[in-house]
A and B are shown apart, each in its own frame.
Chain A
Amino acid sequence: MERAQCLELLYPELQDKLVVTIMGACAQELYDLGHRENFFYLQHAMGLASSIGLGLALHLPEERVVVLDGDGSVLMNLGTLTTLARYRPRNLLHIIFDNESLLSTGGFDSQTTSGITNLAAIARGAGIQHVATAGTLMEFGEAALEALERDDLSVIVAKVDAVGPDLYGMDLQLPENAFRFRRHILDRKRA
């Protein structure tokens, strides 16, 4: 299973959600499907996508928030799983694409390579009640739909191949993305 396939499957569901992605391949693949004003790409600060998602979810209980994370990023901020569990925002879906690799920085092995570290077990151990794993596109689609219908914090660990896009580049400056994302949210709040 490739992350790009998962994103393509998920894309229609993301039309009305607030979406935060991590850097690199994940951000690029979502952007390539078509940028939307409700997408924020965290192109650095590895580990903090889920913390931004938590901040959004707690402050915007009427919105649904989807975080598109990766194994390398989550490993840099494992504490986030405990904070998510503690505050349990019911409107947050945290998807971790685990390609068992630090793909965007050269394809080095990560601690999840060959299943040494099990991120789903860590999420459960952190106290998150709804944790699913997906190894096929079918499993991913089912887990995502279930999570989006569920009124509770959910984590999906999706095992994906360590492949990314051939070309990188966005017609979007980083602060511009932040300004437009915020304006979009404030417009929705006013509507």
Chain B
Amino acid sequence: MTVSYENSKIIFDGIKAAGIRTVSALPETWLGLLLQRAEDDPELELIQVAKEEEAIGVAAGAYFAGEPHLLLMQNHGFLAAINGIVSLAQLYSIPLCMLIALRGHWGEPYAWHTRGGIVTEGVLRALAIPFEYARDPDKVATQIRDAYTFSESSLSPVALLLTRDLMED
């Protein structure tokens, strides 16, 4: 299994088409090709954090600055960022548009990813974070745009889960 070059490009183009100017991220395998593109593209600024919870703060700063921002992280990073999501974003009504690599789900061969994959949807529901699964390369650009639009209108975190179907060849 390799990370899909073609679909990484489609997602990257979708992020740009949604009007996003800066992205905060912590690298992970499925996001690697996307982040490389972001690094190489002068129109998109990439801010790499040391831990995902920092990105919640960076995203809040971008929102206060009125700059369209998106967060890229693995689901385990989402789990590590929860206090920031709850006690900064949700408490202060700050939107977050999160693209989350859903590791440890259907077809996962690696044991270490599985527990986080199993609980991700339940945690999103518990936090009342609206989410959708991205499986189809033909739809993902629209899903990114819609996620961003909804996060801004609802002043809420919103999650788009990037699945194995989309991210691997």
Contacts and interface: CB of A to CB of B under 8 A. Distances in A.
Interface residues on A, range: 35 or more
Contacts of A44: 87-88, 91
Task: Identify whether the interface residues of A are mostly helix, strand, loop, or mixed.
Answer: helix
A182 B61 CA distance: 9
A175 B91 CA distance: 7
B54 A83 contact: yes
B146 interface: no
A49 B58 CA distance: 9
Interface of B: 22, 24, 45, 47-51, 53-67, 69, 83-84, 87-88, 91-94
A49 B66 CA distance: 18
Contact of B57 (A54, A60, A178): A54
A55 B53 contact: no
Contacts, number: 112
B52 to A, nearest CB: 10
A47 B54 CA distance: 8
Nearest to B88: A45
A83 to B, nearest CB: 5
A59 B58 CA distance: 10
Interface in A64-87: 77, 79-80, 82-83, 86-87
Nearest to B93: A175
A142 B88 CA distance: 33
Nearest 6 CB-CB pairings of A with B: A55-B61, A51-B57, A79-B50, A59-B65, A48-B57, A44-B87
A48 B63 contact: no
B92 A48 contact: no
Given A59-B62, A178-B92, A77 B54 contact: yes
A56 B88 contact: no
16 contacts: A45-B83, A48-B53, A48-B57, A51-B49, A52-B61, A54-B57, A54-B58, A55-B47, A55-B61, A55-B64, A58-B47, A59-B65, A60-B65, A79-B54, A181-B64, A186-B66
